[in-house]
Amino acid sequence: MVKLIIAVFVYVVLTFLAALGGLEIAALRAGLAGLAWPIGPRYRRLGYVLGGLLIAMTFIGGLLAGLLIEPLYPLLSVPVIFLAMGLSLVVAITGAALRLRRNPQCPASTLPQGKQVDLGPMQAFFYQPAGDGPAPGLCLLPDPTALRDDLGALIQALVKDGIAVLLLDWQSLGDVDRLTLQGLVAVGISHLARWPEIDPGRVGLLGVGVGGDLALRSAAMDQGVAAVLAIEPVLSAQRPWQGLEALSTLSWFEARRRVQRWRRSGVVKELDGLTAIPSIAPRLTAVIVGCMGDSEVMEDFQVLRDGGGCFLVPAARRGAVKRATAWFKEHLA
């Protein structure tokens, strides 16, 4: 009995190491930072070598174990292999999460110093571009379900291209419903249009994630919006689930948390950004989507695709920032 327990333990450890090696190679090849452990995508080659070594070691160990200890019974080998592989998956997910916490995939950009503005119960920050004359203005709507999204790079790029930005700060609010959010967006737009250095005929809306849905719905209601762009909006509560692709930039735990927030948020269902789009025409409307864009439901408006990334962290994508800036520069500036 003791011999059998030792044999099971040895085979579990060996299979665990092989599975960890295999997972490391597969995760690096697919660019899944949230699954790559112990070495992340930054040292890809080293990860391949380590993964290969773990697999080779396991098979040499397996041969030696076969010579030295009890063999596994057929019915025992299946649970041993499944248990070891499950363990390796759990360890890889947890290890990658800890690694990503220490070294995030997208380093945080510094948010430029903006002018604080009070919009009733909510605060906002105004970022003015350099130069004279009336400038185009944008009301930037962050994702209300992902308040810690890093929008620094996006704001910097827009301001650099001569577009003023009014960032609505949902964090200054408590738990609010869809109508309150829409009301606050309307307040933001009118405030921006009345700002002395802003051209009221060139005020646009830019939303990120669920903020994109809010932008589309608000633009449909407010004729003062000249152009609207949504970066990776949810569009519909029926949107397919994001799978492993989410782990390209996020840890498994963070990705789960974000998706759960989207799914549980009643705002997504109520906004239903997709149905708002026809009401915006003939004003300019565009949506930026990554590789997982749902192309068949996006026919009546401009779809700007960018190469890859994760729809859960849209604003951190360099491609999305470039696309958004270029689009507004072309249509508003």
**Would you say 80 or 214 has its CB closer to other proteins?**
80
**Would you say 14 or 203 has its CB closer to other proteins?**
14
For residue 34, give the nearest of 82, 104, 86, 88 by alpha carbon: 104
Taking CB under 8 A as the rule, does residue 89 contact other proteins? yes
Stretch that binds other proteins, among 206-214, 248-256, 268-276, 278-286 (CB under 8 A): 248-256
Q: Can you read off the two tokens belonging to residue 127?
A: 């970022």
Q: Are strands 164-169 and 122-127 parallel, antiparallel or unpaired?
A: antiparallel
**Would you say 89 or 187 has its CB closer to other proteins?**
89
Taking CB under 8 A as the rule, does residue 11 contact other proteins? yes
Interatomic CA distance for residues 175 and 177, integer angstroms: 7
Letters for 58-77 (x = contact with other proteins by CB under 8 A, - = none) are xx--xx-xxx---xxxx-xx
Letters for 292-331 (x = contact with other proteins by CB under 8 A, - = none) are x---------------------------------------
Q: How many CA atoms lie within 13 A of 204 on its CB side?
A: 29
Taking CB under 8 A as the rule, does residue 3 contact other proteins? no
Buried b / exposed e across 126-156, counting CB within 10 Å, b at 16+? bbbbeeeeebbbbbbbbbbbbeebbbbbbbb
Taking CB under 8 A as the rule, does residue 27 contact other proteins? yes
Stretch that binds other proteins, among 30-38, 127-135, 214-222, 268-276 (CB under 8 A): 30-38
Dihedral angle sign, alpha carbons of residues 293, 294, 295, 299: negative
**Would you say 12 or 333 has its CB closer to other proteins?**
12
Q: What is the largest CA-CA distance in the chain?
A: 86
Taking CB under 8 A as the rule, does residue 19 contact other proteins? yes
Whether residue 239 contacts residue 263, with contact meaning beta carbons closer than 8 Å, is answered with no
Whether residue 262 contacts residue 145, with contact meaning beta carbons closer than 8 Å, is answered with yes
- Give 228's strand partners: 205, 285
Interatomic CA distance for residues 8 and 196, integer angstroms: 76
> What is the SS3 assignment for 135?
strand
Minimum CB–partner distance for residue 142 and other proteins (Å): 23
**Would you say 86 or 121 has its CB closer to other proteins?**
86
Identify the residue among 243, 266, 278, 307 touching other proteins (CB under 8 A). 243
**Would you say 117 or 255 has its CB closer to other proteins?**
255
Taking CB under 8 A as the rule, does residue 18 contact other proteins? yes
- Give 116's strand partners: 125
Interatomic CA distance for residues 154 and 328, integer angstroms: 12
Q: How many CA atoms lie within 13 A of 128 on its CB side?
A: 14
Letters for 222-241 (x = contact with other proteins by CB under 8 A, - = none) are ------------------xx
**Would you say 22 or 183 has its CB closer to other proteins?**
22
Interatomic CA distance for residues 94 and 199, integer angstroms: 50
Minimum CB–partner distance for residue 43 and other proteins (Å): 19
**Would you say 22 or 134 has its CB closer to other proteins?**
22
Q: Would you give the DSSP letter of residue 132?
A: S
Question: What is the contact surface with other proteins in residues (CB under 8 A)?
Answer: 11, 14-15, 18-19, 22-23, 25-27, 29-30, 32, 35, 55, 58-59, 62-63, 65-67, 71-74, 76-78, 80-82, 85, 89, 240-247, 252, 255-256, 259, 291-292
